[in-house]
Amino acid sequence: MTAKKMTFMDMVTEGILQNPKWGAYARGETSIPQEELVWGNEANYFFYLGDYQKAREVSYAFSKYAEQEFANAFLQSLVVSTLFNAGLYRSLAQRQSEADKLWQDLIVFVENLSKNDILKKRKANYWIYEAYALAKLGRYEEVLEPALKGFDGLKKGKGIHKAPHNNTIEYGLVNVLETLVTFQKEPIPENKQKSQKALMDYKKENVRYGRLGYGVIFDLQISYPDVFIPVLPGSDPEQD
């Protein structure tokens, strides 16, 4: 008999339940295992499984962890990604005023870095974080400049990863931000369809390159219900 192929849902469920600490938390037996908060994957997994209460709890805990990591960093200019994660997961925790403050801090921080320094250290991703923060604050007129600057940097090998597509969170996000801005300026059905297609393309890119942007996808779905029809988890479990 041919073994049934595991879906991503199967893998997520198994990964949570078979982990001694996270399995106990999922069953309501313990509190969040703080020492395991590293990348925020567990928050994404709980959103994926539809347990929004635990997803928000873990998102908040991870956001606080990321915020502290940024504050403690010896060279803060090298770890803007932690501040991005702090804002992203504070938003996913539904603590919007706190998230807005983190987005504002991120924008100010990136704007105080020189272009040459960002490119020299291959941190073009930071401009895309800035563009996302501007969008989340509703400052849509300001989004495209840093988004396109960051995208150009990624294409030139100036991202955290030299190969553009390996910057999984940021590379495909630029098109999503572009279409989102267009829709906000002109909310017509055609522009909504373009935004939806961009989000689906971003998901496909993530499936191919490690799913690192799933937190962003969940945040976009939740933050803009008037724009996006959820693409995660997918209706076809074989396709996420």
Instruction: Answer yes or no: is 106 within a domain.
Output: no
**The pLDDT of residue 236:** 55
Q: Which one of 70, 98, 126 terminates a domain? A: 98
Number of separate domains in the chain = 2
What distance in Å separates the CA atoms of residue 143 and residue 130, rounded to the nearest whole number? Answer: 8
What are the contacts of 232-238 at 24+ separation with CB within 8 A?
232/47, 232/48, 232/203, 233/8, 233/9, 233/48, 233/50, 234/203, 237/7, 237/8, 237/9, 238/5, 238/7
Q: Which one of 56, 75, 98 terminates a domain? A: 98
- Residue 132's CB is within 10 A of a number of other CB atoms, namely 29
Residues 88 and 136 in one domain: no
**The pLDDT of residue 57:** 96
Residues 122 and 145 in one domain: yes
Q: Which two tokens stand for residue 97?
A: 């005023």
What distance in Å separates the CA atoms of residue 202 and residue 197, rounded to the nearest whole number? Answer: 8
Residues 11 and 65 in one domain: yes
Asked whether the CA dihedral 57, 132, 200, 4 is positive or negative, the reply is negative
**The pLDDT of residue 239:** 58
pTM for the model: 0.93
Instruction: Give exposure, 158-189, as e/b (b: 16+ Cβ within 10 Å).
Output: bbbbeebeebbbbbbbbbbbbbbbbbbeeeee
- State pLDDT tens for residues 142-153: 999 999 999 999
- State pLDDT tens for residues 25-55: 999 999 999 887 777 889 999 999 999 999 9
Low-confidence ranges of the chain (pLDDT < 50): 1
Name, in order, each residue with C-beta under 8 angstroms of 208's C-beta and a sequence gap of 6 or more. Answer: 165
Can you give the residue range of the structural domain that contains 197?
113-227
Instruction: Answer yes or no: is 103 within a domain.
Output: no
What distance in Å separates the CA atoms of residue 48 and residue 26, rounded to the nearest whole number? Answer: 13
Asked whether the CA dihedral 183, 105, 56, 85 is positive or negative, the reply is positive
Residues 220 and 117 in one domain: yes
Q: Are 45 and 12 spatial neighbours (Cβ–Cβ below 8 Å)?
A: yes
